[in-house]
Structure 1
Amino acid sequence: MQRLLLTILICLTPVFAFAGEAEIRAAQSSIKGQIEAFIAGDDARAYSYAAPNIKRMFPTLERFMAMVRQGYQPVYRPRSLAFDKAVELSGETIMQRVLTTAPNGRNYEAVYTLKRQADGTFRITGVSLREAASLAI
């Protein structure tokens, strides 16, 4: 019985690991999509990546974009960008670390949180920025 249970766990482990990787890739795709929309000047598409909690705080596209332009230049207009560590906090929430260089040449660490929505997509629930000494991954 123990041997059967061990065999089942060994067989299922790659499936669980893959599911986590798939979720992380989906979250990264949302982050990348929003940043690409910022760069392209497609404000409506950028806003579409915001989760409902963000849209409640910034109920109009204009207010959302004003907040982004004022406080999030490192992800609004990055010189460079690299995904670093990601953690699946639950099956519904991902935390993704992004290393970026702002337009002024300073390095930043952006920590994104994303939550899976009812339609299966991951939407951005928050971004925390802090200046970093370097972009070493």
Structure 2
Amino acid sequence: MFRRIFTAFTLVFSLSFTSFTHADEAAKPAITGTIQSQMDALLKDDFEQAFSYASPMIKQMFGSPQNFGTMVARGYPMVHRPADIRFLELREIAGALYQKVQVRDGKGQFHVLDYQMIKDETGWKINGVQLLKGSDLSA
């Protein structure tokens, strides 16, 4: 009896994990494309285009592309002017998808950021970015 319950639990857990893994793999190119497109726009100081990749909550919070651009330039200079970008793992935390990104800034410092992503009718949007502690590593 215990063996049957354990086998059933293992099967359900495996299927749940597998379906999430497939969802990750299917979503990752679109998610990384959104982040890369925003960084490309920021590199050109095209704050209007960069702002278009933000979620409705972020748009409401900052109100305008100019306010958003000022916040990024001052608060996330490594994202505003990255020298190198590397996409790490995509994972689910409490039902939300987070894309981890390693950025090397113009001074050679590495930073790891977590991008919370949401999907709306137009595609994936950035719903927040967090600089992970201890991510300032020397090159």
Identify the match of residue 94 of structure 1 among 81, 92, 97: 97
- 1:27-80 Cα offsets, whole Å, 9 max, x none, are 111101100111123221100000011111100111111101101111111011
Identify the match of residue 121 of structure 1 among 112, 123, 129: 123
Distance 1:125 1:85, change over 3 A: same
Equivalent residue pairs, number: 129
Distance 1:24 1:88, change over 3 A: farther
Q: Give the aligned partner of residue 72 of structure 1.
A: 76
TM-score by length of 2: 0.78
Alignment RMSD, CA only?
2.6
Tell me how far apart the structure 1 counterparts of residues 138 and 92 of structure 2 sit (CA, whole Å): 25
Are residues 1:105 and 2:133 paired? no
Amino acid aligned to 2:56: P
Higher relative contact order structure (alpha carbons within 8 Å, sequence separation ≥ 6) = 1
TM-score by length of 1: 0.79
User: Is there any run of 5+ residues in structure 1 with no aligned partner, and where?
Assistant: none
Return the offset for 1:94. 1.5
User: Is the Cα–Cα contact under 8 Å of residues 48 and 66 in structure 2 kept in the other structure?
Assistant: no
